[in-house]
Structure 1
Amino acid sequence: MRSLALAAIVAMTVGPAAALDLKNMTDAEREAFRAEVRAYLLENPEVLSEAIAVLQDRQAEQAARQDSTLIQANAKDLFSDPDDFVGGNPQGDITVVEFIDYRCGYCRKAHAEVKELINSDGNIRYIVKEFPILGDQSVIASRFAIAALRELGPEAYEKIKNGFYESFRGEVTVETLESFARDLGIDPAPVIAAMDSPDVTRIIKENHMLAQRLQVSGTPTFVMGDQMLRGYAPLETMRQIVAEERG
């Protein structure tokens, strides 16, 4: 912050073309310069706010460029993994990928808004990345959902995914999952039998490896076209990002 303010003051006082060699100042010159800097900041404290705002904008732009690079480098695993659930409009003009954990409170909070975004838009291809990070119960829930997708198909998976956020409460155990599936009209037997299969284990491991490459450490995280949204955001923010990507 101090260096930014100093640079601003130098530009205002000596001009952008002038060179100020702070290292070769005498002690007296350095003290005089410091006094001028202090006096200027006391008289014009808004300079600090302006400098901080510029720094934050630059950092945000740099982070966005880095995210875009990461997305492009991992595009195949993000957008074309045959193991993923694909919902919304499979032929949509923009793809939204969501990394989820069923035990995540912010994922639960985002669920209704993500649903509304997809349903009201009508032209979004929606991909789910099972990313259990909040303990053993998160892993069990993800195993159950992935096994349902593999054994019973996308319709059963979507019912289970929605149900985890909308109706499921309590501990995640084999017994509660069996009851949960029956309430949804789903036969739990083939799903329970496949939960610990090597393929389910592989999918979770690959999702974790993908998240690591993308520097994703929390849920929900969204990839929306060429942008990454790390954490919960309200519906209007997501709509704005979708509009930006289309533009």
Structure 2
Amino acid sequence: MKRLLATSALLGALATTAFAADLKEMTDEERALFRAEVRSYLLENPEVIMQAVEVLQQREQQQQVQADVDLVADNAAAIFDDGYSWQGGNLNGDIVLVEFLDYRCGYCKKAHSEVAELLETDGNIKMIVKEFPILGEASVLASRFAIAVKQISGGDDYKTVSDALMSFNGDITLASLRRLGTTFGLDMTAIEAHMDSDDVTAEIAKTRALADTLAITGTPTFVLKDEMLRGYLPLQQMQAIVADKRG
């Protein structure tokens, strides 16, 4: 027990600058004895290593959360008021939920109905959608179509098309998009002509630049009030986070 306590004290002292300096002053024999003692302790108590790893992971997670909070604060205008992203839900809600999405992302599709349920059951959340096509040319084509619909036909038609694309399971091609738009009575001649316009290209480019700034590399990524939620989260977990944000 005495050796265990002594070794524990030595291990704790390793974290201090003063001890690091003392370690350099040890003779080769003293350093070898110390290393042997540490090795023996760790072999007898391997759970200490796992505990240290857990503490390190917790610290890294806390640091990442704080870094994300700072990123959101520094880029609040571009995230919450860019002037072009679709907004829905309760526009006067006390909580704002932003989603970066790709229509070919399986987890985005999985999250879609749960986000809709969150908005409906809560009733006090504002939703902002950011087109972030990162899964190939078909994703880009889908986003160009959705954005063109928004810019030509307005937010209501965009929401209809966006929901349809999120539940669409076939190949995304110009022909399939044309059929989809025709189903909803959209002016596909005007929309197709606008899909490759500078306005559509600029919107995608701005969102990509923002995603780069926020270190977003996958979808879905959410910004919920003041923090980022990277990846899919079940409805119950999102509800718990919303409740926590309201305090």
Aligned-partner SS, 2:97? strand
Residues 8 and 159 of structure 1, relative CA distance in 2, 3 Å threshold: farther
The residue that corresponds to 2:124 in the other structure is 123
Q: Unpaired segments of 5 or more residues in structure 2?
A: 1-6
Return the letter of the residue paired with 2:211: A
The residue that corresponds to 1:202 in the other structure is 202
Give me the CA root mean square deviation. 2.1
1:155-198 deviations in Å (ceiling 9; x for gaps): 111111110122x2322222211111222343423322211111
Residues 9 and 190 of structure 1, relative CA distance in 2, 3 Å threshold: farther
Residues 8 and 227 of structure 1, relative CA distance in 2, 3 Å threshold: farther
Return the letter of the residue paired with 2:210: L
Q: Unpaired segments of 5 or more residues in structure 1?
A: 1-6
Return the letter of the residue paired with 1:169: N
Identity %: 50
TM-score norm. by structure 2 comes to 0.90
The residue that corresponds to 1:184 in the other structure is 184
Q: How far is the alpha carbon of 1:14 from its aligned partner?
A: 9.6
Q: How far is the alpha carbon of 1:122 from its aligned partner?
A: 0.7
Q: In 2, are the aligned partners of 1:9 and 1:37 still within 8 Å (CA)?
A: no
Q: In 1, are the aligned partners of 2:13 and 2:19 still within 8 Å (CA)?
A: no
Q: How far is the alpha carbon of 1:136 from its aligned partner?
A: 1.1
Return the letter of the residue paired with 2:182: R
TM-score norm. by structure 1 comes to 0.90
Aligned-partner SS, 1:129? strand
Q: How far is the alpha carbon of 1:8 from its aligned partner?
A: 5.8
**What CA distance in whole angstroms lies between the structure 2 residues aligned with 1:246 and 1:144?**
36
Return the letter of the residue paired with 1:205: A
**What CA distance in whole angstroms lies between the structure 2 residues aligned with 1:128 and 1:117?**
15
Does residue 171 of the first structure (1) align with residue 175 of the second (2)? no
Q: In 2, are the aligned partners of 1:151 and 1:191 still within 8 Å (CA)?
A: yes
**What CA distance in whole angstroms lies between the structure 2 residues aligned with 1:80 and 1:8?**
53
The residue that corresponds to 1:215 in the other structure is 215
Return the letter of the residue paired with 1:233: L
Q: In 2, are the aligned partners of 1:222 and 1:230 still within 8 Å (CA)?
A: yes
The residue that corresponds to 1:4 in the other structure is none
Q: How far is the alpha carbon of 1:96 from its aligned partner?
A: 0.7
**What CA distance in whole angstroms lies between the structure 2 residues aligned with 1:17 and 1:195?**
61
The residue that corresponds to 1:40 in the other structure is 41
1:113-156 deviations in Å (ceiling 9; x for gaps): 11111111111110001011111111110011011111111111
Q: In 1, are the aligned partners of 2:11 and 2:38 still within 8 Å (CA)?
A: no
Return the letter of the residue paired with 2:200: V
